Structure 1
Amino acid sequence: MSALSNRNFDRRTALRAALGLAAAGGLAACGGNNGRGGGSGSGTNLVQMFHAYGEAGTEQAIKRYAKAYKEANVTTQWITSADFESKLFSALLTDNAPDLFEFHPQIQMVKSGQVADLTDIIDPVKDDFNPADIKSHTVDGKIYGVRMIDDPQFFFYRKSMLEKAKVDVPTTFDELMEAADKLTTGKVKGLYMGNDLHSVNDTLIWSSGAQHLDEKNQIAYHTDGVVEGLKKMRTLFTSGNLLLGAPTESWDPSSFNQGLCAIQFCGMWAMPAIQDALGDDWGVFPFPKVTDSGKASVYNGGWSMFVNAKGKNVDAAKEYVKWLWIDQKEYQEDWATSYGFHIPPRTSIAETATKLKSGNAAEGVRLFNEFGHFDNIGWTQAMRTAFEDVFANSVRKNMDPEKALDRCDTAVNRELKKLFG
């Protein structure tokens, strides 16, 4: 879900960063007693932690769901500051740790014993979840975390600007670069992909015909196609056609809505805000293929609910997760479609979500189904940071991409050895 507020940072990168820090030495030391009482039934107190979503009504919705639950007293910590991740993982080291919290699937949380095995509550309805969501939360056959929303990300474009410049919707990265050049006029830049470009790191790999890791958890991103993609990104970065230094990061559609760019990389969550600002003068397309052997790609972000395995009320927390994120389909659809647009991870809910059945929302669902890629649970924050350094060095600083990738390989292999031997 987006955060259409003034927090000028890349939430998903920042949130993952905390896990890298915590896994380096903190999570395994978490205390088990949260000091808030135990037992079962209505006397049980549970605390859930969420980051502050920017869309109006989200905080009220989460608290409304919690209030409707009668088997425990559920309170919500709604973290409004930009450092949700540091507050979360600092809290997990204390006696005041939340019983459940939202985050992204990361194998360090499983390896450190931080998150509870939820297989028993998910298994009966597993076939109703998007299989990729199940896979991205599974380690050694056990499922950790329940997906709450899927957040596909793609390019948004202004129809009128492309028509005026006589530009077709790009289907290759070369065409995207050409479009950015033709669409750059005066105060309008052709393309915006975030101030640091990190929002497109993953899609560049996929659209170059590669993967982060292979099925044996070995490096799969260091290919000729990715090298070619990095060189093209360097050309684009130095072209003068990219919006850099935008007032908000790319998860926020403000730059697009205000006409600072003709094309912006953003998420499906922004569709209602864009519709309100621009009417029907916009469309979406996937990150185009970078090489002849590549294929267009769509990054599927999203958020998942985890149970703190080191908390005192693990069973009660699991029951609440089951009640809200498995049993209460009405709340699940409300969460996915009433506060920005997201795709429900439950097939049965996605099929009946009327708000996603027409227009650009339906097109977003189609792109998600045809081109979507999900997080690899084995791709850790340290690995992500190492590949971000590849972008910083080869795209922003003009280092030879092969040398930049070699550096990345060293860091990634070090992490892989820690995790998998």
Structure 2
Amino acid sequence: MARPHRPMPPLSRRRLLTLGGVGALGATLAACGDNTGRGGTPTPDGGSASGAGRPSIAQWYHQYGEAGTQEAVERYAAEYDAADVTVSWKPGDYDQSTAASLLTDSGPDVFEYGNGPTIDMIRGEQVADLTDLFGDTLDDFTPSLIERMSYDGRIWAVPQVLDMQVLVYRKSLLEEAGVQPPQQIPELLAAAQELTRGDVKGLFLGNDGGAGLLGGPMLWAAGLDYLDGDRVGFQDAGAAEALSTLRTLWTDETLLLGEAKDWFDAEAFISGRAAMQWTGLWTFPAISEALGDDFGAIPWPVLEGGAPSVPVGAYGACVSTRAADVEAAKAFVRWLWIEQTDKQLDFATAYGFHVPSRVSLIPEADVLS
């Protein structure tokens, strides 16, 4: 799909405080196992050492869907000379298993986490303060990402990439049905009904029907937010009307459900089982390769009084305070996510479709044009 080059729009300052609970962790802790990926020989101080006296660092990633990403991060790790870095690729419920592992000695030294560590992790002193790693590069990181990964005046993660979520639609299917890309929520409901034909459903919002994903966009569509100062957006009368849209889509039977892959993968959309899908910018290479120009992308539609929304977020590189060598782990994070701009650009654009978190790298990301 041809995409005209436009300046990057200002990023939303909306923030979701992701609170990681510490209850009911027994089963999850047991599932973490003892294999941290650190390797090496235990040292008297409880750390580990490897050949030539270098520290060993265990680095965890969630399972990315883009082919080549795992090989890339393993290559980055192998190129680091100051320590032996072992990459662990974690399928399944990464957030829960990682949060649980931080309470044990079986967790990672370095790990990524969506939008940075939770408030609980920070207050529980489970993650290291990374503020001093940035130096004079701080102003080069997208400000809203730094804000999201900051708490109490300190920075707790280094943004790896900037991701966006959008509504994609199949141009040919909409044209055949005489449907315009929906700009308003009532138009979305009508389009989903009209596009549901035979084996094709109008919309795919994930296997839970959007219940776990679209709460924020529905609030924003109504002009609300999770938090507005001390006011909780869910208390507003308009929140019930906005969120009931998701139930209407469900009861109208216009949603695709029960897919082998969830909203973050475009397979259902590419296969034609859904005429529209909520997904991430990172799926665009796969969609474009399969469909050519036969797709478009729009923000989440609006209700009266609201505004279109494109949720923005980022995985951030964090350091566990239980790391065998916290300073060595921090040095590796600085090397990879602050100093190695070539690797940051490669990670953002060579495998999926992400926006670099560094402002200076965006003009170099040719795929964005």
TM-score range, shorter chain: 0.7 to 0.9
CA apart distance, 1:100: 0.8
Q: Is the 8 A contact 1:34 1:94 kept in 2?
A: no
Q: Secondary structure at the match of 2:21?
A: helix
**Aligned pairs, how many?**
333
CA apart distance, 1:322: 0.6
Q: Does 1:320 align with 2:320?
A: no
Equivalence for 1:372: none
**Counterparts of residues 126-141 of structure 1 (less than 5 Å):** 126-141=138-153
Q: Is the 8 A contact 1:45 1:73 kept in 2?
A: yes
Q: 1:205 to 1:332 in 2, by over 3 A?
A: same
Q: Secondary structure at the match of 2:232?
A: coil
Equivalence for 2:281: 268
Q: Is the 8 A contact 2:161 2:355 kept in 1?
A: yes
CA apart distance, 1:146: 0.7
CA apart distance, 1:24: 7.9
Of the three residues 281, 295, 307, the one matched with 1:282 is: 295
Equivalence for 2:128: 116
Q: Secondary structure at the match of 1:199?
A: coil
Q: Which amino acid aligns with 1:207?
A: A
Of the three residues 183, 207, 215, the one matched with 2:221 is: 207
Distance in 2, matches of 1:278 and 1:266, equals: 16
Q: Which amino acid aligns with 2:104?
A: T
Equivalence for 1:246: 259
Distance in 1, matches of 2:367 and 2:23, equals: 39
Q: Is the 8 A contact 1:42 1:73 kept in 2?
A: no
CA apart distance, 1:66: 1.1
Q: Does 1:92 align with 2:102?
A: yes
Equivalence for 1:48: 59
**Counterparts of residues 342-421 of structure 1 (less than 5 Å):** 342-357=354-369
Equivalence for 1:163: 175
Q: Secondary structure at the match of 2:260?
A: coil
Q: Is the 8 A contact 2:47 2:325 kept in 1?
A: no
**Counterparts of residues 101-112 of structure 1 (less than 5 Å):** 101-104=111-114, 105=116, 106-112=118-124
Q: Is the 8 A contact 1:34 1:95 kept in 2?
A: no
Q: Secondary structure at the match of 1:150?
A: strand
Q: Is the 8 A contact 2:65 2:265 kept in 1?
A: no
Distance in 2, matches of 1:152 and 1:48, equals: 25
Q: Which amino acid aligns with 2:197?
A: T
Deviates most, 274-283 or 193-202: 193-202
CA apart distance, 1:131: 1.0
Distance in 2, matches of 1:22 and 1:147, equals: 28
Of the three residues 332, 341, 365, the one matched with 2:353 is: 341
Deviation string 1:363-387 (CA, Å, 9 cap, x unpaired) is: xxxxxxxxxxxxxxxxxxxxxxxxx
CA apart distance, 1:311: 2.1
Equivalence for 1:294: 306
Distance in 1, matches of 2:139 and 2:22, equals: 35
Distance in 2, matches of 1:34 and 1:231, equals: 56
Equivalence for 1:20: 21
CA apart distance, 1:292: 1.5
CA apart distance, 1:257: 0.7
Q: Is the 8 A contact 1:205 1:211 kept in 2?
A: yes
Equivalence for 2:203: 191
Distance in 1, matches of 2:135 and 2:225, equals: 28
Equivalence for 2:5: none
Q: Secondary structure at the match of 1:315?
A: helix
CA apart distance, 1:247: 3.2
**Counterparts of residues 209-224 of structure 1 (less than 5 Å):** 209-216=223-230, 218-224=231-237
CA apart distance, 1:205: 1.4
Q: Secondary structure at the match of 2:256?
A: coil
Distance in 2, matches of 1:22 and 1:68, equals: 39
Q: Which amino acid aligns with 1:204?
A: M
Deviation string 1:281-335 (CA, Å, 9 cap, x unpaired) is: 001001011x211000111233111011232311111111111100111000100
Q: Secondary structure at the match of 1:20?
A: coil
Q: Secondary structure at the match of 2:294?
A: coil
Identity of aligned residues (%): 41
Distance in 1, matches of 2:365 and 2:333, equals: 22
Deviation string 1:333-374 (CA, Å, 9 cap, x unpaired) is: 1001111101111111122210111xxxxxxxxxxxxxxxxx
Q: 1:175 to 1:338 in 2, by over 3 A?
A: same
CA apart distance, 1:22: 6.2
Distance in 1, matches of 2:45 and 2:21, equals: 23
Equivalence for 1:419: none
Q: Is the 8 A contact 1:130 1:346 kept in 2?
A: yes
Q: Which amino acid aligns with 1:20?
A: G
Q: Is the 8 A contact 1:42 1:70 kept in 2?
A: no
Equivalence for 1:228: 241
Q: Does 1:304 align with 2:332?
A: no
CA apart distance, 1:189: 1.0
CA apart distance, 1:225: 2.5
Q: 1:42 to 1:176 in 2, by over 3 A?
A: farther
Q: Which runs of 5+ in 2 are unaligned?
A: 1-17, 30-43
Distance in 2, matches of 1:321 and 1:180, equals: 45
Cα RMSD for the two superposed structures: 2.5
